[in-house]
Amino acid sequence: MHELSITHNIVSIVSEQAGNKQVCRILLEIGKLSAVMPDAIRFCFDVCSKNTPLEHAILQIHEVPGLARCLDCGNEFEIELLFGRCQCGSNRIQCIAGEEMKIKEMEII
Amino acid sequence: MCTTCGCSDNAKTTVTDMQTGKTVEIAHNHNHEHSHDHDHQHQHGDEHTHEHHHAHALHSHLHSSIHGTTVSLEADILEKNNRLAERNRGWFEGRNILALNLVSSPGSGKTTLLERTIIDLKEQVSINVIEGDQETINDAERIKNTGCKVIQINTGTGCHLESDMLARGLKDLNPPLDSVVMIENVGNLVCPALFDLGEYCKVAILSVTEGEDKPIKYPHMFQASQVMILNKIDLLPYLNFDVETCISYAKTVNPDIKIFQVSATTGDGMIDWYNWLKQQINFNPKTIQTKSAQPTLHRAT
């Protein structure tokens, strides 16, 4: 959802950084638990990047798997949902990776 | 156009001051700051006439193994919204205002809950309201009838409030020091979870006419909320809604979530919600009722 609004933010931030340079590639880091669908971002990107320095830029998305830490025993384990249970039985877990929504880098020419 | 939720960049966001009836359109933060006017037009008659010169130039760059310069950005995509949200948070703190962001799916009874809360606490707490809806000022009219100040933000096709919209609404609302601002977000259990507005906390409202598995279906929202209000409990005898299951789902997603079971229509259970609300405010609620009395401020002198 809301990927259009998010893609607009991406284009706006990168354009600002690129100044009047042309951007040929950007790399995003999107967590698998971030509620943002990479395919929807790709879909919106073509539309949002029109008439900006990002037009025709290659969009790379690195998806980060979910990782949680148990607040009771400290164990770290992979998660596919935002909630879950640690081996120790506790459901007090903290998501430590997988919610990223970042622009890692851009390549300018 | 957002393919899933209908959010559009052409959304016309408006702010309506219910006190004056004035409506203004606000420029949303989706505007592009860089208008590039590189002239990449080909001359007619050029041997390589084609429409995608821009793309072609880019490809030739890539294929000629002259790589561009990679610049590390490490930028948070929602940074702009988050930065403005922090400003709003400071704005609230400076005025000693408790701001709550009420989130739910459409039809959960947010407005009814707000109406009742405002009326029941009228003598104790000063509450003002920011109403968020895609269209109409109906909810704001209802809130206005309780006698409190209300600003309606219409997001057009937008599916959530963002911090810049709230900042604009607050200017018109101009809430007094030592008060409570209730922000009724657009009815949507997905997008508002991601957009911080600068509130003290989110309060999720779930009604028993919905499925009891909503907390695990929309975990982002219930994880982002400190409180869950289970509304319309007066209807439980007529429904197959398992309260215990619902609560266990909510606790699975967010073990620390506070849960109140209420009926905003009959008033059942509302007292617990009021007590929680009064515990959160950083001023003596009773001092609000007499206008001449100086509120007890927690300020260093």
What burial class does residue A80 get, using C-beta atoms within 10 Å of its C-beta: 0-12 exposed, 13-18 middle, 19+ buried?
A: exposed
Q: What is the pLDDT of residue B10?
A: 52
Residue of A nearest to B61 (CA): A109
pTM of the full structure: 0.81
Share of chain A above pLDDT 70, in %: 99
Q: Would you list the DSSP string of B125-159? A: --EEEEEEESS-SHHHHHHHTTT--EEEEE-TT--
Which residue is it, tokens 């164990």?
A75
- CATH number given to B80-284: 3.40.50.300
Distance, in Å, from the CA atom of A26 to the CA atom of B252, rounded to the nearest integer, reads: 37
Span B130-165, pLDDT tens digits: 999 999 999 999 999 999 999 999 998 788 999 999
Distance, in Å, from the CA atom of B274 to the CA atom of B31, rounded to the nearest integer, reads: 41
Closest-CA distance, A67 to chain B, in angstroms, reads 15
Residue of B nearest to A18 (CA): B71
Tell if the CB–CB gap between B77 and A103 is shorter than 8 Å: yes
Residue of B nearest to A81 (CA): B219
Confidence band (pLDDT; 50, 70, 90) for B8?
low
The first and second tokens of residue B281, run together, are: 């405010």
Strand partners, B132: B153
Domains of chain A: 3-108 (3.30.2320.80)
Question: Which among A16, A25, A83 has CB closest to B33?
Answer: A16
Q: What is the pLDDT of residue B68?
A: 86
Long-range own/partner contacts, residues A84-91 (CB < 8 A, 24 or more apart): A91/B251, A91/B252, A91/B255
In angstroms, what CA-CA distances link B219 with A45, B162, B206, B292?
Answer: 27, 20, 13, 46
SS3 state at A93: strand
Closest-CA distance, A11 to chain B, in angstroms, reads 8
Confidence band (pLDDT; 50, 70, 90) for B180?
very high
Q: What is the pLDDT of residue B65?
A: 47
Average pLDDT of chain A to the nearest whole number: 93
Domain ranges of chain B: 80-284
Q: What is the mean pLDDT of residues B64-72?
A: 75
The first and second tokens of residue B98, run together, are: 């408790």
Share of chain B above pLDDT 70, in %: 77
Span B46-62, pLDDT tens digits: 444 444 444 444 444 44
Q: Select from A73, A75, A59 the least CA-distant residue to A14.
A: A59
Q: What is the pLDDT of residue B11?
A: 65
Distance, in Å, from the CA atom of B246 to the CA atom of B213, rounded to the nearest integer, reads: 6
Q: What is the pLDDT of residue B66?
A: 53
Q: What is the mean pLDDT of residues B199-228?
A: 96
Q: What is the pLDDT of residue B172?
A: 96
Span B255-276, pLDDT tens digits: 999 999 999 999 999 999 999 9
Question: Which among A35, A56, A101 has CB closest to B77?
Answer: A101
Span B222-254, pLDDT tens digits: 999 999 999 999 999 999 999 999 999 999 999
Instruction: Report which DSSP code applies to B96.
Output: T
Share of chain B above pLDDT 90, in %: 68
Tell if the CB–CB gap between B76 and A3 is shorter than 8 Å: no
Q: What is the pLDDT of residue B108?
A: 96
User: Does residue B205 carry a pLDDT above 50?
Assistant: yes
